Structures are given as structure tokens and as C-alpha cells.
């Protein structure tokens, strides 16, 4: 064989084994270990504030009720984006909301590795009528969900502006998740 042919075989083999190793690494799925790596401790899930439940499972889907940016100390992020809340503050509020939704899932499932796929997210942003950057705010939720669940966390999403939200909270986010036993 010629040197170029050997080089091609070597490079092809190297690529194959690299892809195999990457695929194998992708098989490791431990969202709870990922939370630890990110320095996140899940709080007790926030309790519903009215006549509803945090989540409903039907078949292999869980529909999570809307949650807001309630911090571990019980305070919430209030206000309107484009008025008295910045995009960065809204992003952080959406991230806090993701932590709250994961706390609900952990309570319902016992183990976050049972999440097969985050299917759909509906992000509602308490917005000034002229505010148009709702997707940038809800990225705080989506970015954390993908960081924790990897490819299984990539989801369909809507990010919409609202004239107001309950208790004046800055964001409220619902989520639909596919699970396996």
C-alpha cells in the first residue's frame, strides 16, 4: 500500500473510533449528577397557589403546571420586562423557574434519569407592550434544561408576552415531558 492509502485508512479508523467514543460517552445520562456539577440543589417544589396540581401524568407524558421564579428563600422576581426588569434579570428568573420545574419532576418521578425527552415549553413573560425580546428571557429556562438533560432536553418552545402574570411575577413557564419507567 502507498503512504497516502495508509494515511487515509489511519485517519478513517481514527475518525471511526472517535465517533464511537463520542457516541458511547453520549450514552451516559445522569441529569442529577449534572445538577451537582452545575452546583444546583433542587428545592422542595413550590406548592400550587390555587386549585390545581403541580403536574399530571397521562401515559408516558407529564404536563407540568406553570411555575414562576420563586427563589429558595420564598421571594419571587416581580415586574415587567421592558419596564422595571432587565433581560438579564428575566433570564435569571427563567433559570430559577427551570430549577423549580425540575424539583417538581424529581418529586413526581423519584429520579430525573426517567426523563426521556423534554417535549414542549411554554414561556410567558410579563411584558411592557413594546418589549419584543421574550425569547432571550426564556432562554434562561431552555439553556439550563439542555445543560442538565443534554440532547434529551432540546424542546419545542413558545415564548410570548403577557399583559400581566399572577402575583406580578416576571415569568411563568409550563413544560411537557416524556418519561420512561
Q: Where are the domains of the chain?
A: 31-179
pTM of the full structure: 0.85
- All cell numbers assigned to 96: 430559577
31-179 maps to CATH 3.30.1330.40 = yes
Q: Model confidence over 78-137: pLDDT tens digits?
A: 999 999 999 999 999 999 999 999 999 999 999 999 999 999 999 999 999 999 999 999
Cα 77–139–29 angle (5° rounding)?
110
Contact 172, 124 (CB under 8 A): yes
Q: How confident is the model at residue 32 (pLDDT cuts 50, 70, 90)?
A: very high
Spatial neighbors of 89 by CB under 8 A, at least 6 apart, are 77, 170
Amino acid at each position: 500500500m502507498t503512504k497516502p492509502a495508509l494515511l487515509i485508512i489511519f485517519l478513517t479508523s481514527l475518525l471511526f473510533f472517535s465517533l464511537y467514543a463520542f457516541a458511547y460517552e453520549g450514552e451516559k445520562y445522569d441529569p442529577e449528577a449534572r445538577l451537582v456539577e452545575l452546583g444546583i440543589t433542587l428545592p422542595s417544589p413550590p406548592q400550587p397557589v390555587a386549585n390545581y396540581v403541580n403536574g399530571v401524568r397521562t401515559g408516558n407524558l407529564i404536563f407540568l403546571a406553570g411555575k414562576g421564579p420563586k427563589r429558595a428563600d420564598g421571594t419571587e422576581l416581580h415586574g415587567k420586562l421592558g419596564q422595571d426588569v432587565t433581560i438579564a434579570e428575566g433570564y435569571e428568573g427563567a433559570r430559577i423557574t427551570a430549577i423549580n420545574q425540575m424539583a417538581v419532576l424529581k418529586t413526581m418521578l423519584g429520579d430525573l434519569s426517567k426523563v426521556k425527552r423534554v417535549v414542549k415549553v411554554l414561556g410567558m413573560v410579563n411584558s411592557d407592550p413594546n418589549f419584543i425580546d421574550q425569547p432571550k428571557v426564556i432562554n434562561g429556562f431552555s439553556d439550563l434544561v439542555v445543560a442538565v438533560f443534554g440532547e434529551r432536553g432540546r424542546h419545542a418552545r413558545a415564548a410570548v408576552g403577557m399583559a400581566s402574570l399572577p402575583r406580578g411575577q416576571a415569568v411563568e413557564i409550563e413544560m411537557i415531558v416524556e418519561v420512561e419507567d
